[in-house]
């Protein structure tokens, strides 16, 4: 079959991807797409059925070294590309089990009071202001402070993390982009080297110290794996929740009936978060996968080494699974959405993101019941990314 053109670099696509998905999904549930300015060809799952099948099929692997053994080695991969998100069993299970201890239900439960405290502090900081960039003032600080405290990292470094993670998840055809990316990764690496050195000298009661001790004591974590896990936790630990909160608030503001219902019934907040995750979730595409072997999939011939992406955003708006998917309904029954993925790579931090989103939205509406959008919808600019679905800024009126 011929490839379908899809310019992921265009502003038009990121402003309105759901229009594209609605048109293509019924006819091409799993299709070969030309991305990266029409040069690179990738398979993409658009329907819910295809998306779920790709995410669960072990023939689609994450470790590109297994497919491109001659071209790709540990030395020319960034540390984050060797984290648990980008490896397969048995390494995946080993890395995930090390990090899992920081995200048990018991640990997440302990964080609830602190998350509430942080949300109320950020709400207080906005008092007296007529308008704010909601992302900078509220949606970003809450999850970055939480993940920094969990890992044992100074929260004053959070704006560096924001800058580093932005360049890690975004795409650009600017001539200097690759150079800028490499410079940011070197800076991030140098920061972690210094931080890890300090933790080795004086371990603390935090997840980062535990990971370092695991590396040194039982030889279960290589130095590069340690760097990769920490990078992943810092980036994934706040990016998903920032955009869950911001996208969710935007969705509510553009659906005043649902916003009114939520303000009248705050007990619906947890259920509302699930619908907000489905409606315009924080992760647009899955991370990279490659075909381990050649085989037929969804009626298409996939060849060994083919690149595969899953459009989580498209799958979560599939009318064959979700009734009236274009409608925001915070009372929708329990949703099988794929916002956090599926299978062995299901987002480890999903319970934490859900809790942060629930508390952040509830506290916000308690303190600012009359907030409104301080820009035209057409003026809002979406980030260009192969992973994240999020706004660059969200101007809000607070009174």
pLDDT single digits (tens) 289-317? 999 999 999 999 999 999 999 999 999 99
220 has pLDDT over 70: no
Residue pLDDT, tens place only, 38-52: 567 899 999 999 999
Which residues constitute the domain of residue 29? 4-397
Of residues 184 and 295, the one with the higher pLDDT is 295
Domains: count for the chain: 1
Mean pLDDT for the stretch of residues 196-210: 91
Q: What is the pLDDT of residue 246?
A: 98
| Residue 36 pLDDT class (50, 70, 90 cuts) | low
Q: What is the CATH number of the domain that holds 359?
A: 1.10.630.10
Neighbours of 48 (CB within 10 A): 24
Residue pLDDT, tens place only, 163-180: 888 888 776 667 677 888
User: Cβ distance 85 to 62 under 8 Å?
Assistant: yes
Residues 356 and 119: their CA atoms lie apart, in Å, by 9
Residues 126 and 139: their CA atoms lie apart, in Å, by 12
1 has pLDDT over 60: no
Residues 52 and 314: their CA atoms lie apart, in Å, by 12
Residues 39 and 81: their CA atoms lie apart, in Å, by 23
Name the average pLDDT for the chain: 90
218 has pLDDT over 80: no
Percent of the chain with pLDDT over 70: 95
| Residue 201 pLDDT class (50, 70, 90 cuts) | very high
276 has pLDDT over 60: yes
Q: What is the pLDDT of residue 169?
A: 79
Percent of the chain with pLDDT over 90: 61
Residue pLDDT, tens place only, 355-394: 999 999 999 999 999 999 999 999 999 998 878 999 999 9
Q: What is the pLDDT of residue 184?
A: 87
Residues 196 and 261: their CA atoms lie apart, in Å, by 47
Neighbours of 224 (CB within 10 A): 17
User: Cβ distance 135 to 391 under 8 Å?
Assistant: yes
């Amino acid at each position: 079959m011929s490839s379908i053109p899809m310019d992921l670099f265009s502003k038009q696509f990121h402003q309105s991807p759901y229009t594209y998905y609605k048109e293509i999904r019924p006819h091409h549930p799993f299709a070969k797409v030309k991305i990266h300015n029409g040069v690179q060809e990738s398979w993409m799952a658009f329907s819910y059925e295809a998306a779920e099948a790709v995410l669960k099929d072990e023939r689609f692997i994450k470790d590109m070294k297994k497919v491109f053994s001659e071209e790709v080695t540990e030395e020319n991969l960034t540390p984050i590309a060797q984290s648990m998100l980008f490896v397969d069993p048995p390494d995946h299970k080993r890395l995930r089990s090390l990090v899992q201890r920081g995200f048990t239900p018991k640990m997440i439960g302990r964080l609830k009071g602190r998350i509430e405290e942080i949300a109320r502090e950020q709400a207080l900081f906005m008092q007296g202001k007529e308008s704010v960039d909601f992302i900078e003032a509220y949606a970003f600080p809450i999850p970055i402070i939480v993940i920094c405290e969990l890992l044992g990292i100074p929260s004053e470094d959070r704006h560096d993390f924001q800058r580093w993670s932005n360049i890690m998840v975004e795409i650009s055809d600017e001539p200097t982009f690759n150079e800028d990316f490499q410079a940011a990764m070197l800076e991030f690496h140098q920061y972690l080297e210094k931080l890890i050195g300090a933790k080795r000298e004086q371990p603390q009661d935090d997840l980062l110290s535990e990971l370092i001790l695991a590396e040194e004591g039982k030889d279960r974590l290589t130095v590069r794996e340690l760097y990769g896990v920490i990078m992943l936790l810092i980036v994934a630990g706040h990016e998903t929740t920032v955009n869950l909160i911001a996208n969710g608030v935007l969705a509510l503001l553009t659906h005043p009936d649902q916003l009114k219902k939520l303000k009248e019934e705050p007990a619906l907040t947890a259920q509302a978060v699930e619908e907000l995750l489905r409606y315009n979730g924080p992760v647009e595409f899955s991370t990279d996968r490659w075909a381990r072997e050649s085989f037929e999939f969804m009626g298409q011939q996939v060849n060994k080494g083919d690149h595969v992406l899953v459009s989580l955003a498209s799958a979560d708006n599939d009318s064959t699974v979700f009734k009236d998917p274009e409608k925001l309904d915070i009372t929708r029954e329990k949703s099988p959405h794929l916002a956090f993925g599926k299978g062995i790579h299901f987002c480890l931090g999903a319970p934490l993101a859900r809790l942060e989103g629930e508390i952040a939205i509830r506290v916000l509406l308690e303190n600012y019941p009359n907030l409104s959008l301080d820009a035209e919808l057409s003026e809002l600019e979406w980030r260009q990314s192969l992973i994240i679905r999020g706004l660059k800024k969200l101007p809000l009126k607070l009174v």
